[in-house]
Amino acid sequence: MLQSSEARLERWERKVEWPLTALAVLFLVAYAWQVFDDHGSMHVTLEIVLWLVWAVFAAEYLVRLTLADNKIWFLKTHLFDLAAVVLPMVRQLRVLRLITVITLLNKKFQHKIRQRVSIYVAGVTIIVVFCASLAVLDAERHAENASITTFGDALWWTLTTMSTVGYGDRFPVTGDGRLVAGLLMIGGIALLGVITGTIASWLVEKLRGVEEAELETAQELRSLRAEIAELRAELKARSSS
């Protein structure tokens, strides 16, 4: 039954893969536009777009939960997806809406370009840095005594925090901003683990390919030696006769 459930889930995920990826990109663009154009004429429209896209994400999660025969197993194995859908509903945690985008885009490209390690690492890093910068700027810029008031400030803070340098010239003062900081610290460690694992997996595959090529070469050499020995024996037999 579990295998049947997994098969249905895989078919559904393949079916909605590209539409969800496109919505994730739309979500990121709308959120970035809203942050950069603070209190602009499009603010309300962009907010509606963000919630509509989030509603699609939530509905897609519920569909997957419905397709699963073992609901408890599904919930246990998709806790991060559940958090990405539920947490942004809390007004104080609205900056976590970008977790959904990061999750979807990472799922989309992780297995597609894993063999191109440099592209994967660069892509994930850029997405995390950009999203974290948007989130902390959204949370901090209107706070009293805020030191992160421009996107440049946010980007600099994100880079120093993610790299664990932490100069301390820029720092969050709000609860939302500190939440983003905590997640970024944890995410930086997790990203490092992903990078390390991806590189290790890629190296193992390459080394396995080299070993297999060496074995094939050795087998071919043995076959050639056997053929040469047979030819020599045949020539020797002919010359003696």
Q: What is the pLDDT of residues 93-138, one digit of tens each?
A: 555 556 666 666 666 555 555 556 666 677 778 888 888 899 899 8
What is the SS3 string spanning the chain? CHHHHHHHHHHHHHHHHHHHHHHHHHHHHHHHHHHHCCCCCCHHHHHHHHHHHHHHHHHHHHHHHHHCCCHHHHHHHCHHHHHHHHHHHCHHHHHHHHHHHHHHHHHHHHCCCCCCHHHHHHHHHHHHHHHHHHHHHHHHCCCCCCCCCCHHHHHHHHHHHHCCCCCCCCCCCCHHHHHHHHHHHHHHHHHHHHHHHHHHHHHHHHHHHHHHHHHHHHHHHHHHHHHHHHHHHHHHHHHHC
User: Model pTM greater than 0.75?
Assistant: no
Split at pLDDT 50, 70, 90, the class of 2 is very low
